[in-house]
């Protein structure tokens, strides 16, 4: 039977007059219905681990906007928690974790075989969504990439330059490499279970890939992505993988071929014209409207949306932002963007 879902068609290499569209963080604080459901849950982690409420917030932007894809509502730091790290969120400041900086810290973590005990509610959310999403809407599962997840586990929080992780990488490479390997193997299991529960596509978010330079990028961004994608392809043939090595710059070139990714998501630090000439030549790309347009709106939003659509019109393209939509975005601007895409 011919594939009817627009997003799946783009991932298969089809060029479409109107590209499929979804947004990173499309279920989030910019929507009043999300804020109401989060208040009902009590706190962020309680929302992530409540399958009914997590499915509800995943469905909210689909009901409101009719996006071509829904992305599972969860967080990249649930895997470290499943591996034995302590995780909590500080209101207004973001996540905090117990740190891994020594061999003893690493030895205290759990094995990959133990993660399902913590993550089983996430798989249940996927199962609910696979039943409740509209027939035309693609369900995307996701995980953080090993390097990005490691930066949080090493520093215990988000950092501006990922300095603690870079320091451990140079000062105690055996512990650093062991952590990357553990996260890589855990990510394979985590994404595989999401696919078994009903995810039709999975995405790997390497939010801090841009701070890896030269050989370090290849070793800690490219190679783990390749290992994860190769393993998923072997277990789940035909399930596409989107890779997002954010702010990779010239390292976007050839990333799909080197890793086996079916699509490369692009941040907005590269131009659509450059990406069309250098990245889209290898297959599907996703992106890359600057999230600030969701705040400011106006004619500039319409013009830039149409410009990006045109720039990528000669190859397979999934329209998205270059990073997640921000809490101060105007929900009306999302509809303006969608109207500009769909005409």
Annotated catalytic residue within 35, 38, 127, 219: 38
- Beta-strand (E) ranges in the chain? 69-71, 87-90, 94-97, 138-144, 201-206, 241-245, 263-265, 284-289, 317-321
Name the residue with tokens 């109107």: 18
Neighbours of 13 (CB within 10 A): 12
b/e string for 27-63 if b means 16 or more Cβ within 10 A? bbebbebbeebbeebeeebebbbbbebbbbbbbbbbe
The answer to whether the Cα torsion of 254, 164, 154, 96 is positive or negative is negative
Is 169 a catalytic site residue? no
Task: Give 19's DSSP letter.
Answer: -
What letters, b where the CB count within 10 A reaches 16 and e where it falls short, cover 203-235? bbbbbbbbbbeeeebeebbbbbbbbbbebbeee
Neighbours of 298 (CB within 10 A): 10
Could you tell me if 194 and 141 are in contact, meaning their C-beta atoms sit under 8 angstroms apart? yes
Cα separations in angstroms, 57 against 60, 198, 291, 338: 5, 17, 20, 20
Query: Is 75 noted as a catalytic residue in this protein?
Result: yes
Does an H or E element contain 294, and which? helix 293-296
Known active-site residue 25: yes
**Residue 127 catalytic?**
no
Handedness of CA 113, 55, 73, 323 (dihedral sign): positive
| Residue with the two structure tokens 């586990």 | 153
Which entry of 9, 34, 49, 75 is annotated as an active-site residue?
Answer: 75
Name 18's Cβ contacts closer than 8 Å, sequence gap at least 6: 6, 341, 342, 343
- Residue 246 annotated among the catalytic residues of the structure: no
Q: Which of 152, 190, 220, 252 is catalytic?
A: 152
H/E element, 118: helix 116-132
Two tokens, residue 170: 């140079």
> Catalytic residues, which ones?
25, 29, 38, 75, 152
């Amino acid at each position: 039977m011919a594939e009817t879902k627009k997003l799946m068609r783009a991932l298969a290499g089809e060029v479409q007059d109107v590209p499929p569209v979804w947004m990173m963080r499309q279920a989030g604080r910019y929507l009043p219905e999300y804020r109401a459901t989060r208040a009902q849950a009590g706190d962020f982690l309680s929302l992530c681990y409540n399958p009914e409420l997590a499915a509800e917030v995943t469905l909210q932007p689909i009901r409101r906007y009719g996006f071509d894809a829904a992305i599972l509502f969860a967080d990249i730091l649930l895997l470290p928690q499943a591996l034995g790290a302590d995780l909590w969120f500080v209101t207004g400041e973001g996540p905090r974790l117990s740190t891994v900086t020594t061999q003893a810290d690493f030895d205290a973590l759990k094995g990959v075989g133990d993660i399902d005990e913590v993550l089983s509610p996430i798989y249940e959310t996927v199962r609910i969504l696979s039943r409740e999403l509209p027939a035309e809407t693609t369900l995307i599962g996701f995980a953080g990439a090993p390097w990005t997840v490691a930066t949080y586990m090493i520093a215990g929080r988000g950092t501006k330059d990922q300095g603690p992780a870079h320091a451990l990488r140079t000062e105690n490479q055996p512990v650093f490499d062991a952590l990357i390997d553990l996260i890589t193997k855990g990510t394979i299991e985590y994404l595989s279970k999401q696919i078994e529960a009903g995810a039709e596509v999975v995405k790997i978010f390497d939010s801090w890939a841009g701070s890896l330079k030269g050989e370090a990028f290849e070793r800690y961004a490219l190679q783990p992505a390749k290992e994860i994608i190769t393993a998923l392809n072997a277990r789940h043939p035909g399930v596409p993988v989107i890779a997002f090595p954010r702010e990779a710059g010239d390292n976007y070139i050839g990333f799909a071929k080197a890793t086996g990714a079916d699509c490369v998501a692009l941040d907005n630090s590269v131009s659509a014209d450059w990406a069309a000439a250098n990245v889209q030549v290898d297959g599907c790309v996703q992106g890359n409207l600057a999230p600030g347009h969701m705040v400011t709106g106006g004619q500039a939003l319409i013009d830039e949306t149409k410009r990006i659509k045109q720039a990528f019109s000669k190859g397979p393209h999934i329209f998205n932002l270059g990073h997640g939509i921000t809490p101060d975005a105007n929900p009306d601007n999302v509809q303006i963007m969608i109207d500009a895409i769909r005409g």
